[in-house]
Structure 1
Amino acid sequence: MYRRHKLEDEEESHERWLISYADFITLLFAFFVVMYATSNINLNKYRALSSSVVTAFQGQPGAVGQPQNMPQGLQTPGLPVPGVQNQNGQVPSAVMKPLPLSYLYQEKKQRDQEKIRAMAQQLANTLAQWIEQKQIMVYQSDLGVEMDISTHLLFQNNQAAYTPQASQILHIISAQLKNEYRTLQVEGHSDKHTFSGMVDAESKRWTLTATQAARVAATLAADGIAAKRLSALGLAETRPVSSSDNNLAQSLNSRITLRILTAEAGEQLTTNLANRQEVSPAEPEATAEIPTMATPATLPSAMTNKRNSQP
């Protein structure tokens, strides 16, 4: 009868630790190689970068200090070492001072004013034929760009109906302002002689200017300008540009003013609904009855009457 022989237990190998040790040494060697490679700094590129950064923020190239513990042979001539006095006996600072917020604010405001100036010039070039006829005037102010368009150029006489050239002019303006993402105010103005002699002439002037401003704003919105950037306001004859009574003054006062605001003015006009606080009527204060107190003048007579009443 065949019997199966038991397999002898294999002897345990004591050299397996060499494999793990070899892998560990290899990884350690690779780690030190990477550390050595990253520790080598290109000094020329470092100096060029530091000089560019200082020039951009301070306008003084070469003002960045070099490490104090840098070997003598690697130090760059002309660069100060922190803690070491220069020829004037002063210790140069190796830390760049941060720019103040006022400086950054002025820089932002100046850049926005330059964009406003370029926009005004572009609008003036585009509308040159009407500017030469004194029917459109382009101005620049601290609030932005202002365009005064004669009412007779856009609307028929004392009406809210467009003239034949109104759509063309407004389309040219909207094409220039479509990608500006600024707040636009449309104001309607009239002369004090408009509707003169009629009943409720002042009320009609308010209604006419408000209707004309609203129609211009609606046309700009239809041409692609975001409606949330637009506002329309009728001011009747409250803001004339001329106080004369001749026909030229009347034509100047009857106008549509289109104002393109700067970024600062637009932010000030933006209403944040989350910051509104409701104001409720104040509750009436309860008036308590104050007991009448005797004045010093009545004290002697009251005391006299009391004495006389005693038995």
Structure 2
Amino acid sequence: MAKKKHEEHENHERWLVSYADFITLLFAFFVVMYSVSSVNEGKYRTVSDSIKAALNPVNSTPSSRLPFAVGDAKPKMINPDMSSANEPVIRRMKEIMKKIHPSLALEMPDIKIIETGNGTIMISLPESILFTSGEARVRPEALPFLKSLAQILIEMDRHVRILGHTDNVPIRTAQFPSNWELSAVRAVMVVRIFSELYEVPISHLSATGFADSKPVATNDTPEGRTKNRRVEIIILEKSLTEETLDSMLPGNTPPAQPL
């Protein structure tokens, strides 16, 4: 007699498995949403950048097979040589000064260009290049030189300080009661020529008179007094403020480079 097959009972609770999976996924979804809503932006960017770097590696071949010493290159990166950026400018200034008017050629040895390590340039001009003794009117022979210099200042787009200096011999005239007025007016006259005649931005210019308070030589000899009667044009490095002037004043300057 054949055995009767057991009838298979239909499982009516199978839906619970799918329901449990759905609830688990829904819970995970809300956990993720909550995590994103309270994410730390800094950590998120760090993780994001790391993922991008891992998915998009940059393959580059070394530019040199020689060993690279980090310690040797570090000082150059921290303290870059600013003078190299000014070399073309100084070269042009020297070329301009070599073409100076014949009547001013005798004063060429007294023109000095001083460059500091922070990129600032100072041009020291003797009184006789720009002015007649005791006067503040710029000599016509000096205008072509100032025009060429103004073109360089416009190209460089830097702040420029004009400083007037005198010797200690007193001056008492109706126009200049003392050397303070003479030095200040001379500096202002150079500023006005740069701005009004040759279109150097006035916002980049300033003038200061020091009279005989900042000598570069002794006032006890005629030669020393001649050196002290001068106008200094200071071209500040772009990233520096006018406070850099303090380090450029006599006594704080590096050795000059005569032309």
SS at the partner of 2:163? strand
Q: Does 1:206 align with 2:180?
A: yes
Q: Does 1:237 align with 2:225?
A: no
Aligned to 1:256: 231
How far apart, CA to CA, are the structure 1 residues paired with 2:195 and 2:106? 24
- Matches for 1:145-224 after TM superposition, within 5 Å: 145-195=121-171, 198=172, 204-222=178-196, 223-224=198-199
Residues 117/131 of structure 1: CA separation in 2 closer, same or farther (3 Å cut) = farther
Aligned length: 178
Name the aligned partner's letter for residue 125 of structure 1.
Answer: E
How far apart, CA to CA, are the structure 2 residues paired with 1:252 and 1:225? 28
Residues 194/118 of structure 1: CA separation in 2 closer, same or farther (3 Å cut) = farther
Residues 106/255 of structure 1: CA separation in 2 closer, same or farther (3 Å cut) = same
| Root-mean-square deviation over aligned CA pairs | 3.4
Deviations 1:283-304 (CA, angstroms, capped at 9, x unpaired): xxxxxxxxxxxxxxxxxxxxxx
Give yes or no for contact 2:97–2:108 (8 Å, CA) kept in 1. no
Q: Which TM-score applies when normalising by structure 2?
A: 0.58
How far apart, CA to CA, are the structure 2 residues paired with 1:190 and 1:240? 8
How far apart, CA to CA, are the structure 1 residues paired with 2:232 and 2:77? 32
Using the aligned pairs only, state the percent identity: 18
Q: Which has the higher contact order (CA 8 A, sep 6+)?
A: 2
- Matches for 1:80-95 after TM superposition, within 5 Å: none
- Matches for 1:1-311 after TM superposition, within 5 Å: 50-51=60-61, 54-55=62-63, 104-107=77-80, 110=81, 112-128=82-98, 129=100, 130=105, 133-143=108-118, 144-195=120-171, 198=172, 204-222=178-196, 223-266=198-241
Name the aligned partner's letter for residue 117 of structure 1.
Answer: E
How far apart, CA to CA, are the structure 2 residues paired with 1:257 and 1:250? 16
SS at the partner of 2:155? coil
Give yes or no for contact 2:158–2:238 (8 Å, CA) kept in 1. yes
Q: What is the deviation of 1:219?
A: 1.1
Residues 194/135 of structure 1: CA separation in 2 closer, same or farther (3 Å cut) = farther
How far apart, CA to CA, are the structure 1 residues paired with 2:106 and 2:79? 33
Name the aligned partner's letter for residue 79 of structure 2.
Answer: Q
Look at both structures and tell me which one has the larger radius of gyration over its CA atoms.
1
Runs of 5+ unmatched residues, structure 1: 1-45, 64-96, 270-311
Residues 248/268 of structure 1: CA separation in 2 closer, same or farther (3 Å cut) = closer
Name the aligned partner's letter for residue 236 of structure 2.
Answer: L
How far apart, CA to CA, are the structure 2 residues paired with 1:62 and 1:142? 30
Give yes or no for contact 1:137–1:148 (8 Å, CA) kept in 2. yes
Give yes or no for contact 2:138–2:189 (8 Å, CA) kept in 1. no
Q: Which TM-score applies when normalising by structure 1?
A: 0.49
Q: What is the deviation of 1:161?
A: 1.2
How far apart, CA to CA, are the structure 2 residues paired with 1:246 and 1:116? 35
Give yes or no for contact 1:148–1:255 (8 Å, CA) kept in 2. yes
Deviations 1:220-240 (CA, angstroms, capped at 9, x unpaired): 123122111111110000111
Q: What is the deviation of 1:247?
A: 2.1
How far apart, CA to CA, are the structure 1 residues paired with 2:234 and 2:128? 19
Q: What is the deviation of 1:253?
A: 0.5
Q: What is the deviation of 1:250?
A: 1.5
How far apart, CA to CA, are the structure 2 residues paired with 1:230 and 1:60? 50
Give yes or no for contact 1:182–1:266 (8 Å, CA) kept in 2. no
Name the aligned partner's letter for residue 111 of structure 2.
Answer: I
Residues 131/139 of structure 1: CA separation in 2 closer, same or farther (3 Å cut) = farther
Runs of 4+ in 1 over 6 A off after TM superposition: 100-103
Name the aligned partner's letter for residue 178 of structure 2.
Answer: K
SS at the partner of 1:224? coil
Give yes or no for contact 1:113–1:262 (8 Å, CA) kept in 2. no
Give yes or no for contact 1:117–1:140 (8 Å, CA) kept in 2. no
